[in-house]
């Protein structure tokens, strides 16, 4: 279990690498936030528990972010039962503070307990997250509160790095007044965008952006694995 939030974390802190041996390198100062509490209306069942090659989607995501981040915060819906999953770094599970209010509310719940300066946000239906892309996004956060890719002109708020202390009060205020779009909540924050071409330097096939949000999409991702 990770400790609570660190109120003394500097908004200008950056992440540093430390070794993992042959497995790559983790980044000090970076926590992964994994949102699992969505309604899964298009999938038809709990996506976190859906199996890909015999493993829950949540496990795939934890395996990926555990290669890069020093801690993980999983945000689930109230009363949601998660599949059995393990993580190679300390993991905290919290319940969404708001009932079914979407990703922005989930980020608020996560940032309440994140104790590192930076947080990488993703969801449980992104099983092919590329650790190199996470590192790349975090490396662009020295002068930004949010770093997010634009893929085919569309912002990707759940493949993004956030400066938790700066974003938390802004995101909370948006949720409390009923504004639930993540990208709209960026207003007033220091933003750094990454083009699809730049993202492809770290994730050549852009597999991080593939979402298993329907059974059909999950089958397509399975096929990509060969």
Q: What is the pLDDT of residue 68?
A: 98
- Cβ-count burial of 139 within 10 angstroms (0-12 exposed, 13-18 middle, 19+ buried)? middle
For 52, 127, 215, the CA distances from 224, given in Å and listed in that order, are: 12, 12, 14
Nearest Cα neighbor of 162 from 138, 131, 195, 135 is: 138
Between 37 and 109, the more confident residue is: 109
Say what angle helices 164-176 and 103-111 make with each other, to 10 degrees.
Answer: 130
Q: How far apart are CA 141 and CA 45, in angstroms?
A: 36
Q: For the chain, percent helix, then strand, then coil, each to nearest 5?
A: 30, 25, 45
Q: What is the pLDDT of residue 22?
A: 34
Q: What is the pLDDT of residue 97?
A: 85
pLDDT tens per residue across span 102-151: 999 999 999 999 999 999 999 999 999 999 999 999 999 999 999 999 99
Q: How confident is the model at residue 206 (pLDDT cuts 50, 70, 90)?
A: very high
160-163 and 146-151 beta bridge pairing: antiparallel
**pLDDT-above-70 percentage for the chain:** 86
Q: Are 165 and 11 in contact (CB under 8 A)?
A: yes
Which domains, and CATH codes, for the chain? 24-224 (3.90.550.10)
pLDDT tens per residue across span 46-63: 899 999 999 999 999 999
pTM to 2 decimal places: 0.88
Q: What are phi and psi of 209, to 5 degrees?
A: -90, 5
Q: Are 214 and 45 in contact (CB under 8 A)?
A: no
Per DSSP, helices labelled H in 17-156 are 57-65, 103-111, 131-139
Q: What is the pLDDT of residue 205?
A: 96
Q: 63-66: long-range contacts (C-beta < 8 A, 24 or more apart)?
A: 63/88, 64/127, 64/128, 64/129, 64/130, 64/131, 64/134, 65/32, 65/34, 65/120, 65/122, 65/129, 65/131, 65/134, 66/32
pLDDT score of 39 more than 90: no
């Amino acid at each position: 279990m990770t400790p609570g939030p660190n109120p003394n974390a500097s908004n200008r802190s950056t992440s540093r690498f430390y070794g993992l041996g042959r497995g790559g390198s983790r980044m000090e100062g970076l926590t992964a936030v994994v949102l699992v509490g969505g309604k899964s209306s298009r999938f038809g069942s709990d996506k976190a528990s859906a199996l890909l090659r015999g493993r829950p989607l949540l496990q795939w995501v934890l395996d990926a972010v555990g290669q890069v981040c020093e801690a993980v915060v999983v945000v689930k819906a109230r009363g949601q039962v998660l599949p059995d999953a393990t993580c190679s770094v300390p993991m905290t599970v919290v319940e969404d503070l708001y009932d079914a209010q979407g990703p922005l509310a989930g980020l608020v719940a996560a940032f309440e307990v994140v104790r590192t300066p930076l947080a990488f946000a993703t969801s449980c239906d992104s099983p092919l997250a590329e650790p190199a892309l996470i590192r790349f996004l975090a490396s662009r956060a020295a002068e930004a509160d949010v770093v997010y890719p634009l893929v085919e002109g569309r912002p990707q708020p759940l493949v993004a790095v956030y400066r938790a202390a700066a974003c938390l009060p802004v995101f909370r205020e948006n949720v409390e007044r009923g504004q639930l779009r993540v990208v709209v909540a960026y207003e007033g924050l220091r933003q750094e965008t990454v083009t699809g071409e730049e993202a492809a330097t770290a994730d050549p096939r852009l597999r991080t952006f593939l979402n298993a949000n329907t059974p059909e999409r999950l089958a397509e991702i399975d096929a990509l694995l060969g």
